[in-house]
A = this chain, B = another copy of it.
Amino acid sequence: MSDKRAKLVIVDDHLIVLEGLQKLLQNAANITVEGTFTTGAAFLTFLEQHSVDIVLLDISLPDTNGIDLCREIKKLSPATIVLALSNHNERSMVLQMLQQGASGYLLKNIAGDELIVCIQEALNGEMTFSQAVKEIMSRPSVAELKGIPRLTKREKEILQLIAEGQTTPDIAATLHLSPLTVETHRKSLLQKFEVKNVALLIRMAVEHKLL
């Protein structure tokens, strides 16, 4: 990468984090913090007028979320490198960010020198992750080992109603279906999730954030 100082921007609604990051970055040669923003909208406005090499992006923001914002950033300025910086250590979150074009994912417990290394790597066009993230991604979660089953529209609908405590006859009534039909869908749900009763079904659904 070039010798010019990279223009970096931080988007995070926590003042503490903003200050902390700037402190950690002030020692880094060839990086200039061009600005800090506490909302996604504020940053997007800035991005329309200025060029930004890399953005450290918090995932939980007051007006939007990191996933949507990342997509917006990439649409507006594809060359801008997005590095997610978050407290969320869930695999699904990491994957979603990458899918939206993020170049890496850092957890906020990252060490100071590690942070600078990761930023350099990202600037070099590499994918980069903080140590903790690498560990999370290396061991697949129990939930993901089985994979999230693909549910049909009806199945989702019926899963929802089961989770609301409705019995098979109840569901049949609310959806104007035969109880036998509902039974069939219910069985499909149990099969797809590879569980043997509703207790586990609900747990799986909650784990997969389907409720």
Contacts and interface: CB of A to CB of B under 8 A. Distances in A.
B197 A109 contact: no
Contacts of A16: 16-17, 20-21, 24, 108, 110, 115
Contact of A24 (B19, B195, B203): B19
Given A17-B17, A109-B14, A199 B163 contact: yes
Contacts of A15: 20, 24, 109-112
Contacts of A93: none
Interface size classification for chain A: 35 or more
B108 A162 contact: no
A131 interface: no
Task: Summarize A's interface: helix, strand, loop or mixed.
Answer: helix
A198 interface: yes
B110 A200 contact: no
Contacts of A19: 19-21, 23-24, 112
A202 interface: yes
Contacts of A200: 163-165
A165 B197 contact: yes
A183 interface: no
Contacts of A163: 199-200, 203
A196 interface: yes
Nearest to A195: B165
A96 interface: no
15 contacts: A14-B109, A15-B24, A15-B112, A16-B17, A16-B115, A17-B17, A17-B20, A19-B24, A20-B21, A22-B23, A165-B197, A167-B197, A198-B202, A199-B201, A203-B211
Given A15-B112, A19-B21, 5 more contacts: A19-B24, A162-B199, A165-B203, A197-B198, A206-B206
Interface of A: 13-24, 87, 108-112, 115, 162-165, 167, 195-203, 206, 211
